[in-house]
Structure 1
Amino acid sequence: MTVDPDDISSNPSGNATFGEIVQARLSRRSAIRGGTLLAAAGFLGAGVGSGTATAAVTAAPASHGRGRRGLLGFKAVPAGTADKVTVPDGYTADVLIPWGTPLHSRGPQWKKDASNTAAEQAQQIGMNHDGMHFFPLRGGHEGLLVLNHEYVDQALLFPDGDAVMTKEKVDKALAAHGVSVVKVAQVKGRWQRVDSRYNRRVTGSTPVTFSGPVHAAHPALQARNRPMGTLNNCSSGATPWGTYLACEENWNSYFGTTDTSWKPSPELARYGVNAAGGGYKWHTADSRFDLAVNPNETNRFGWVVEIDPFNPHHTPVKRTALGRVKHESATVTESRGRVVVYTGDDQDGEYVYKFVGSAPWRQLRALGKSPLDHGTLYVAKFNDDGSGTWLPLTFGTGPLTKANGWKDQADVLLRTRQAADAVGATKLDRPEWVAVHPGNKDVYLTLTNGSGWDNKANPRKPNPYGHIIRWREKHGDNTATSFEWDIFLLAGDPAYDPKVTLAPEDVFGSPDGLGFDPGGRLWIETDVSNSSQNLASKGYDNIGNNQMLAADPRTGEVRRFLVGPRGCEITGFTMTPDGRTLFVNVQHPGEATTAWGTPTPADPRAVSNWPDFDPAGRPRSATLVIRKKDGGVIGT
């Protein structure tokens, strides 16, 4: 992959960019502190609503927290380029449920030449593991691991590659997408997949339904086939009532057409839909994905999907009140009894959103209503004085009126990006995962990389390394409509960018996955594009393979915890309740990279052969099980 489509903006609006806002704010008052760029006297020092956000204060340099007792107790691992997984001394990393693992012991076994059929793949763990959550059973020594399968690498999925696309190949690719629900348990001290009635797959062909303002009978959802499937499931979330939320991200890539008379509408163009598609070529073998033949099928994607892992017969529900974008996350928290869901829209120049329930979620469920169907969707505007506002995407409010061409709330949600354009949201450099601090409820967001827009101070123009921002909602209430924000961390390598003050052993780029553990450690996973990974010409030769790091929000200290094999992304993680087992996903090891080469049907191991290292096999995405040898809490 030479160009990541997420790096190319499809946002033509004139809304202010985050870079312009950062420039206006930080040109007046900023200080570099130990790899963390903080707006002086911002909410972290002065408190929300203190009235001192514009005061000028000089911050003293910090020492990354070294010399004081912090949250991070492990010795950082060095950056690396080897085709292996590296974790700190005193830790173990075991491979669990790689792509092709049968859901049940009697199910179809993995064939290392990729010759499993579509029907067999539907009974196996999918490809390219991503977002994930552990639902504990019996005290946490066993539970349901639910994980996304974002996309497929068709050069590795089929024995002969995808030069010729067939309906069987499309069906197999659909079966390798979606979500896996699998029971795992500690057996003789090691985590294993175990047989269970809960084990199942939700794929690109599984029947689904819709709920909320864009209901299943809505005209925009009527297509030539029944509603089915979830695709490009990236990050995820978990609800307080025990369900799993899968996020549909780059769904536009699967559609195309050979009809030369077809042209995208403004609505489709705003989501990046075009005749060529994203290279999957499914439309050449399956009319379901042909834009000219089956135009409404696109409207069925771009949603957050709710799945009940404890009900094997549950039909996945696409919760339309949360909006239709390229959802990178669905991070759930509670405030005043109400559910709040944060989501980034992963493309350069897009926005960050939050959904706030209309009433306490327990009350809504007692009435037989879904808390995800009743509430308000907002989009963020970052102001240059360090304040921010959540703008409601509500029909009849502001510019979202009939006079301006909006039909109703369903129309607002079907065209969420255009609605956000209309209200004046702030463009961001690829907003991705959101994490909420378990204590003070501060919110953190990864901005993986981007063009940088018109920023001259920070973020950079261009912004090849990315950064992390954070904000505090007014009075610490996540349902509030105003907040104060700051930059938490500027990623990159000081050898190429003097603005970066990370220590050499801490350098990283393209933060993507993000989440807190109960102890308050912020875990950061990276997704450096394979067109940049390991290359001096891109400023990434000192950073190595993609990795996982931990940060102490109190001190700004960052330490590298894990380095993955060649060509991979590190993404998706979850912990057992006791914090003693960490599950981490290694996605697309062995994918084509500029530095290492391109896998082919004749040589699928050109870049990586992890985790099997079988001379006749191929690389496989997998989940890692990480534990301390002394049985202690991860990260300490």
Structure 2
Amino acid sequence: MCRRRSSWSDPIAREGLRADIPGMNRRGLLLASSGVLAAPALASAQGLSSGGLQAQQGTSVAGGWRLDVLARWGDPVLSDAPAWAPNAPDADAVSAQFGWDAELLAVFTPPRATDGVPRAVVAVAHPGVDPAMAYPDGRDRPDVSAAMQGVSIINLEKRGRAWVLSSGGYQSRHLGARTLCRADGPAAEQLGGAINGIYGAGAGCGTADRLLLAESEASDWTNRLPGRITAAQGWVVEVNPFEPSDIPVKRTALGRAPQAIAAQVSPEGKLVVYLAHQTGLARFVSAEAATSPDALAAGTLSAARFNGADVTWAPLGADAWQDLPAALAQAGARPLPAGASLAIVADALVVGAPGQGATGLRGVVDTSRVTSLLPAGMAPGLSALTGDQRGQLWIGNDAGYGYSSTVMTPDGRPALVMPRGARVGGLGLSPDGAALFTCIRTPGAEPGRSYSRPATRWPDFTPGTPPRSALVAIERG
């Protein structure tokens, strides 16, 4: 749970979470002795809700903590990727490299190897490419941009006390414009057999050894790549994060283009997927058990109806997948603001949004109980959520021009302050619980800035080298 040091005025925020979500408490994180992430302290923590922290060229971390940069724009995802050449980008080269934008989607723990080295498989989305910041002349190169976007699945391993990129890891690959997919569910026959491309995957989650990607409607790519974006784009895509030879599946039973997605396994063993649309919150419950390879091929969709502290899930018609936003509106769902975030924390669904704070929904049956977790003023630019091993909430707070975005601890203090123009790109805990992964998105990309005149040159700070989005880890020590 995230709060200020002063008491909350909302009694539900003060007491309801402790009662409703096991493992959460009102004290913030305790200093841990077993490597579990513990809340850091930063002297300049005050005033985030009233104005934020002034923008800076580099990054700051809390005292006693360190920041490790794991992968940057242009770093190799595939072992044979050529060296980064930002002044002369090539579609073949960038399709094997870490993309320009970066947003952490999910962290998976692979089976432990015989050498005993802790490892992680991490999925990072590259939702878009801004030509002004990505190319020296500011002119778009649509084929190169299409190859640069997508999703990187990379291997990390722990060496000593630090997580590092594992070169040539078995699971490492890039999913994007050239990725072969297939479709299943009610629209499978309409979409045909082989499908080329994953575009605009700006949201996703991991559960039950599945990576779920939420493709956007890809309207930006429709204009940049005439004729290439079809009805086969804009779905929830299921990927096996551990097996590169498996073909990604576009699961049409879940409808099109959610702006956020989260999933969990129900007490009955079904796979439950939550889908955030601006017209409301939807829930998909699989017809088959979560252990089935095709659990997401069929199921039931329902809409969240809020009534005070309760949510009832109203079943939607069998054809709701065809236009899920319209079906949600017709069912009386409560609209969600743009930028809504979803996360599963201690078996509860947490719904957050800029300017609205965060609430928790516990229960996956016909009625869920709503608990206020985070007041709107605590993180006015709330953009990312994750829970730690103690079931407490870490958040990303994006700031406006002139201020720095931050990653905030459960007690409302900044753990990481980002460089100028950067945004928080997702949050996730390392498998050992000792580090928090996040992405520093689009540093230097303030209004009016460009490739040659960015607001910062983080992380390299080399003359002529553009700023680079990066996957990072923050950890004590």
* Deviation readout 1:193-238 (Å, 9 max, x if unpaired): 31134321111232221111221x21xx36xx96222222223211
Q: Does 1:609 pair with 2:457?
A: yes
* Residue correspondence of structure 1 range 59-74 to structure 2 within 5 A: 65=27, 73-74=39-40
Q: 8 Å contact 1:431–1:445 — kept in the other structure?
A: no
Moved more, 182-191 or 39-48: 39-48
1:91-121 Cα distance to aligned partner (Å, 9 max, x none): 11011110111224542111243x1201111
Q: Which letter maps to 1:370?
A: D
CA pair 88-374 structure 1, distance change in 2 beyond 3 A: same
Do the aligned residues in 1 keep the contact of 2:102 with 2:470 (CA within 8 Å)? Answer: yes
How far 1:310 sits from its partner (Å)? 2.1
State the match for 2:287 in structure 1. 358
Q: C-alpha displacement at 1:418, in angstroms? A: 1.0
Cα offset for 1:46? 8.0
**Partner Cα separation in structure 1 for residue 257 and residue 39 of structure 2:** 39
1:44 CA drift (Å): 5.0
List aligned pairs for 1:6-21, cutoff 5 A.
Answer: none
Query: How far apart are 1:334 and its partner, in Å?
Result: 3.1
Please name the residue that 1:252 is paired with: 219
User: Aligned pair 1:388/2:289, yes or no?
Assistant: no
- 1:40 CA displacement: 8.5
Q: 1:377 and 2:301 equivalent?
A: yes
CA deviation after TM superposition for structure 1 residue 189, in Å = 4.9
**In the alignment, residue 134 of structure 1 is paired with which amino acid?**
V
Gaps of 5+ in 1: 1-32, 49-63, 257-281, 290-296, 396-408, 449-464, 493-506, 535-543, 552-556, 630-636
1:522 equivalent in alignment to 2:380: no
Kindly indicate which of the two structures has a greater share of residues assigned to strand: 2
Query: Structure 1 pair 123/327, CA: closer, same or farther in 2 (3 Å)?
Result: same
1:563 corresponds, among 417, 428, 444, to: 417
In structure 1, what is the equivalent of residue 252 of structure 2? 320
**1:85 aligned residue:** 59
When residues 428 and 104 of structure 1 are mapped into structure 2, their CA distance, relative to the original with a 3 A threshold, is closer
Q: 1:437 to 1:43 in 2, by over 3 A?
A: same
**Equivalence for 1:153:** 130
Residue 547 of structure 1 is matched in structure 2 by 406
Structure 2 distance, partners of 1:81, 1:337, is: 47
State the number of aligned residues: 453
Structure 1 distance, partners of 2:234, 2:227, is 20
C-alpha distance in structure 2 between counterparts of 1:66 and 1:513, whole Å: 18
Deviations 1:305-347 (A, max 9, x none): 11112222222111122221333223334322111122222x4
Aligned counterpart in structure 2 of residue 287 of structure 1, from 227, 238, 258: 227
Residue 449 of structure 2, aligned match among 588, 595, 599: 599
Separation in 1, partners of 2:406, 2:351? 18
- The aligned counterpart of 1:5 is none
Q: CA RMSD in A?
A: 3.0
Aligned to 1:235: 203
Secondary structure of the structure 2 residue equivalent to 1:378: strand
* CA distance in 1 between partners of 2:29 and 2:166 (Å): 42
Residue 472 of structure 1 corresponds to 362
Letter in 1 for 2:201: N
The residue identity in structure 2 corresponding to 1:149 is H
Q: TM-score, normalised by structure 2?
A: 0.86
Cα distance change of structure 1 residues 185 and 108 upon mapping to structure 2, 3 Å threshold:
same
Q: Who is 1:442 aligned against? A: 348
SS at match of 2:362: strand
User: Which of 82, 96, 99 does residue 108 from structure 1 map onto?
Assistant: 82
> What secondary structure does 1:420 align onto?
helix
Cα distance, 1:559–1:288 mapped onto 2, change above 3 Å: same
Q: Do the aligned partners of residues 527 and 320 (structure 1) sit closer, same or farther apart at CA in structure 2, a change above 3 Å counting?
A: farther
Deviations 1:603-624 (CA, angstroms, capped at 9, x unpaired): 242x121111111110111011
Q: 2:117 touches 2:158 (CA, 8 Å); kept in 1?
A: no
- Name the SS of the counterpart of 1:415 in structure 2: helix
Q: Identify which of 320, 339, 354 aligns with 2:271.
A: 339
**Would the alpha carbon gap of residues 40 and 611 (structure 1) be closer, same or farther in structure 2, given more than 3 Å must change?**
closer
Q: Secondary structure at the match of 1:172?
A: helix
Distance 1:145 1:188, change over 3 A: same
1:482 counterpart (367, 380, 386): 367
Native 8 Å contact 2:439 2:471 kept in 1 = yes
Query: What aligned pairs does 1:269-284 form with structure 2 within 5 A after superposition?
Result: 282-283=224-225
Q: Secondary structure at the match of 1:253?
A: helix
Which amino acid in structure 2 is aligned with residue 337 of structure 1? G
Go from structure 1 to structure 2 and tell me whether the alpha carbon gap of 1:120 and 1:239 turns closer, same or farther (over 3 Å shift): same
Q: Which residue of 2 aligns with 1:461?
A: none
Are the aligned partners of 1:38 and 1:486 in contact in 2 as well (CA < 8 Å)?
no
The one of 149, 154, 176 aligned to 2:148: 176
Counterpart of 1:322 in 2: which secondary structure?
Answer: strand
Q: Where do 5+ consecutive residues of structure 2 fail to align?
A: 1-5, 45-52
Structure 2: distance between partners of 1:36 and 1:325? 37
Give, in angstroms, the shift of residue 175 of structure 1: 1.0
* Distance in 1 separating the partners of 2:251 and 2:336: 25
Query: Structure 2: how far apart are the matches of 1:566 and 1:36?
Result: 34
- What SS class does the counterpart of residue 72 from structure 2 fall into? coil
| Equivalent position SS for 2:295 | coil
| Equivalent residues of 2:210, 2:238 under 8 A apart | yes
Structure 1 Cα separation of the partners of residues 200 and 106 of structure 2: 17
Note if contact 2:39-2:409 (Cα within 8 Å) is conserved in structure 1: no
In the alignment, the residues of structure 2 paired with residue 160 and residue 40 of structure 1 have an alpha-carbon distance, to the nearest angstrom, of 50
Within 5 Å, give how 1:294-305 maps onto structure 2: 297=230, 299-305=231-237
Taking every aligned residue pair, what percent have the same amino acid on both sides? 26
Matched position secondary structure for 1:255 = helix
The residue matched to 2:329 in structure 1 has which SS?
A: helix
Letter in 2 for 1:562: L
Distance 1:68 1:147 in 2: 30
CA contact (8 A) 2:105 2:124 kept: yes
Residues 1:416 and 1:43: Cα distance change in structure 2 (over 3 Å): same
Structure-2 separation of matches of 1:102 and 1:131: 17
Task: Verify the 8 A CA contact 2:103 2:426 in the aligned structure 1.
Answer: yes
CA–CA distance in structure 1, aligned partners of residues 427 and 117 of structure 2: 16
1:121 to 86, 94, 97: 94
Deviation at 1:246, TM superposition (A): 1.5
How far off its partner does 1:484 sit?
A: 2.4
> Which residue of structure 2 lines up, in the alignment, with residue 533 of structure 1?
401
Matched, 1:621 2:469: yes
Q: Measured at CA, do residues 489 and 135 of structure 1 come closer, stay the same or move farther in structure 2, by a change above 3 Å?
A: closer
Secondary structure (helix, strand or coil) at the match of 2:168 reads coil
In the alignment, the residues of structure 2 paired with residue 172 and residue 517 of structure 1 have an alpha-carbon distance, to the nearest angstrom, of: 37
| C-alpha distance in 1 between matches for 2:108 and 2:348 | 24
Q: Distance in 2 between matches of 1:69 and 1:611?
A: 30
Cα distance in 2 between the residues matched to 1:66 and 1:548: 15
SS at match of 2:321: helix
Q: Indicate conservation of the 8 Å contact 1:102/1:123, yes or no.
A: yes
Question: What's the TM-score once normalised by structure 1's chain length?
Answer: 0.66
- Superposed displacement of residue 36, structure 1: 6.5
Which has more helix, going by share of residues? 1
Distance 2:340 2:219 in 1: 17
* Partner AA of 1:148 in structure 2: A
C-alpha distance in structure 2 between counterparts of 1:621 and 1:170, whole Å: 20
Shift of 1:471: 2.3
Task: Name 1:130's counterpart in structure 2.
Answer: 103
Q: Deviations over 1:392-425 (max 9, x none)?
A: 2222xxxxxxxxxxxxx3xx21211111122111
Q: Distance in 2 between matches of 1:185 and 1:89?
A: 25
Return the alpha-carbon distance in structure 2 between the equivalents of residues 485 and 331 of structure 1.
18
Amino acid across the alignment from 2:66: T
Q: Does 1:580 align with 2:434?
A: yes
